[in-house]
Amino acid sequence: MTVNGTAGNIVVFVSNIRMYRGSEKKATHLILIYLAFTHIIMLLSKGMPSTIAAFGVRHFLNDVGCKVVCYLERVARGLSVCTSSLLTVFQAFTVSPSHSRWRRLQPSSSRSILLLFPFLWIFSFLTNINLLLYITSASKNTVQISTSDYYCYFQPESQKVRLMILGTMVFRDAVSQGIMCGASGYMVLLLHQHHQRVLQLRSSKVLCKTPAEVKAAQSVLLLMLCFLLFYWADCVFNLLLNFFFENNLILNFKEFLTLGYVILSPFVLIHRDGHVAESCCTKGTRRTFRKYLLPTSFQ
């Protein structure tokens, strides 16, 4: 799953770079480039160490390695939440009617979106700064082995720092998901209105082809549904772990919930948007990609 997810995100990353360098430069291309990049970081910093640990290898990371890996994974997770919300908002701007107030809020240039990325990085770095102080290698802990990771250990921290960091993370996720749900609801309303107009045109025997913006909005809505499903399933599962004994099967399923959206999202984009594979691969390479990497349900 880690290898397939990394390969899928690399395809999305490269293809959107090529599309953005083409004649049509869209802000959604930049956001998808940024989202795929954060997902690659998350898979390499979370998926790969977990895979190594699943093969029974212990203490393969020293103290510095644990701090770097866990810090990057938590930073990338926060960036994924914020970037997914940003993608929903910009897609809502795109499908809005030209006379609406939402369309006026859309930046005139796609490059203006680049100013938001450093702010998201700095905010995510500061939110998770406590990990650099409290994460250490499991080999240094001879009394208690971490139940959530086999390779790193989270040392107990002060209650005040824990509540402050936890409150900041909850606030970030709540704001991001609130914006995401609001923009998604707005797009659902617009898509419903579009569907009604299509039915009227078809009843009048007028052919109507679904615009590319509508297809892109449907893809983004599907992505957001996957994100919310995996996010809340992960939250509920973490709460349940506090009341049940943690074994390897439960921990592996928890890893799947944590990385589920990161692994699934590129294949949703590849399946929904044919330009992704076309801009990245030749015809023969696309056939090989779909045969060996794309899950059976999407082929």
**109 — pLDDT class (breaks 50, 70, 90):** low
pLDDT attached to residue 275: 58
Please report where in the chains the tokens 């979370």 appear, as a residue.
Answer: 46
Give the pLDDT confidence of 135-173 residue by residue, as tens digits: 877 666 544 444 444 677 777 667 777 777 778 888 888
Return d(Cα 257, Cα 244) in angstroms, integer. 17
Q: Which residues contact 285 (CB under 8 A, 6 or more apart)?
A: none
Q: What is the mean pLDDT of residues 2-12?
A: 92
Q: Which structure tokens are listed for 55?
A: 């093969």
CATH code at 210?
A: 1.20.1070.10
pLDDT attached to residue 11: 93
Give the pLDDT confidence of 20-51 residue by residue, as tens digits: 887 667 788 889 999 999 999 999 988 888 88
Q: Which structure tokens are listed for 174?
A: 């709540």
pLDDT attached to residue 80: 92
Return d(Cα 239, Cα 237) in angstroms, integer. 5
Angle at 4 between CA 279 and CA 229, to 5 degrees: 100
The DSSP result for the chain, as a single string, is -HHHHHHHHHHHHHHHHHHHTSS---HHHHHHHHHHHHHHHHIIIIIHHHHHHHTT--S-S-HHHHHHHHHHHHHHHHHHHHHHHHHHHHHHHHHS-TTSHHHHTS-SSGGGGGGHHHHHHHHHHHHTTTHHHHEEEGGG-SS---SS-SSEEE----HHHHHHHHHHHHHHHHHHHHHHHHHHHHHHHHHHHHHHHHHHHHHTT---PPPHHHHHHHHHHHHHHHHHHHHHHHHHHHHHHTTS---HHHHHHHHHHHHHHHHHHHHHHHHH-HHHHHHHS-HHHHHHHHHHTS-GGG-
Domain limits at 158? 2-298
Paired with 154 in beta bridges are 135
Return d(Cα 62, Cα 54) in angstroms, integer. 18
Return d(Cα 151, Cα 161) in angstroms, integer. 24
Q: Considering its fold, how many domains does the chain have in total?
A: 1
Give the pLDDT confidence of 160-213 residue by residue, as tens digits: 777 777 788 888 888 888 888 888 888 888 877 766 776 666 555 444 445 666
Return d(Cα 7, Cα 3) in angstroms, integer. 6
pTM of the model: 0.79
